[in-house]
A = this chain, B = another copy of it.
Amino acid sequence: MFERIENESVVSTVVNKIKKSIMDGDLKPGDKLPTEVELIDQLGVGRNSVREAVKMLTALGVLEVKRGQGTFVVEKVKPSFFNPLLFSLIIEPKSNKDLYELRVMFDTMVLFNLMDKMDPDKFDQIDNLMEEVEGHYASGDKDIDYFVGMDVRFHKLLMDLTENALIKQIGEVIISLFPEYIKKSISQEKGILRSINNHKEIIHHLRTKDKTSLSQLVEKTLEEWKEEWK
């Protein structure tokens, strides 16, 4: 008969009012919100409610609080936006197979995307990184952590070059799930070499815009990894 009375909490109300101000354009990126005291007066609520609302929007990456100065709408959204996703991956454990598949597929995706965007400057950045790694290897350095770090840097660089903020964000999350696996996979000298050669092959296919070979390479890599983990 009667529909449920939605007793929206005070905090939710405040959150929504701030949200609305942003979406309506009354508050633009970089703008300063009224001070806590002003908000208390304007909204007619307690200070705790205002603070809790601001904290929620801070957690979501929408607001930014600078102590002694005030509260501001963020200029640029941080990758922390995908933190909830990261949590969900922790809360609901995933199988290794799923994780690999995702990683390999994501890498392929990034590379495909890059093929249409690569220019000489971007190749320079990649080449510089590769020279650094090969130099270290040639010099006899066998520090696993270094090569693991460079492996991560290589993949992050590729993601950066897509110039797509969303891809970067999701990529960060995926890579953050991987350090142990990378370490395990290159924790032998032949692992290091294989990693370097793998990257070189990737770059080669990127230069020649050879999607077929690239996707075959990725598949091959996946197969190798699978073998190793049995």
B-binding residues in A (CB < 8 A)? 11, 22-23, 29, 48, 51-52, 55-62, 73-77, 81-85, 87-92, 94-95, 97-99, 101-102, 105-106, 108-109, 112-113, 162, 164-167, 169-170, 173, 211-212, 215
Contact A98–B164 (Cβ < 8 Å):
yes
Complex: chain B residue closest to A113, CB-CB: B105
Knowing A52-B51, A82-B85 touch, does A76 contact B101 (C-beta < 8 A)?
A: no
Q: For A99, what are the chain B residues with a Cβ–Cβ distance below 8 Å?
A: 166
Tell me if B165 and A101 are in contact (CB < 8 A): no
B81 close to A85 (CB less than 8 A): yes
Given known A-B contacts A112-B215, A212-B212, A164 and B102 have beta carbons under 8 A apart: yes
Interface contact A91-B112, CB-CB below 8 Å: no
Q: Judging by beta carbons under 8 Å apart, are A81 and B88 in contact? A: yes
Instruction: Tell me how far the C-beta of A178 lies from the nearest C-beta in chain B, rounded to whole angstroms.
Output: 12
Known: A55-B11, A91-B29, A91-B77. A98 touches B22 (CB 8 A): no
B-chain residues with CB within 8 Å of residue A73 when the two chains form the complex: 91
> What residues on B are CB-neighbors of A97 within 8 Å?
164
Most buried by B among A75, A84, A95: A84
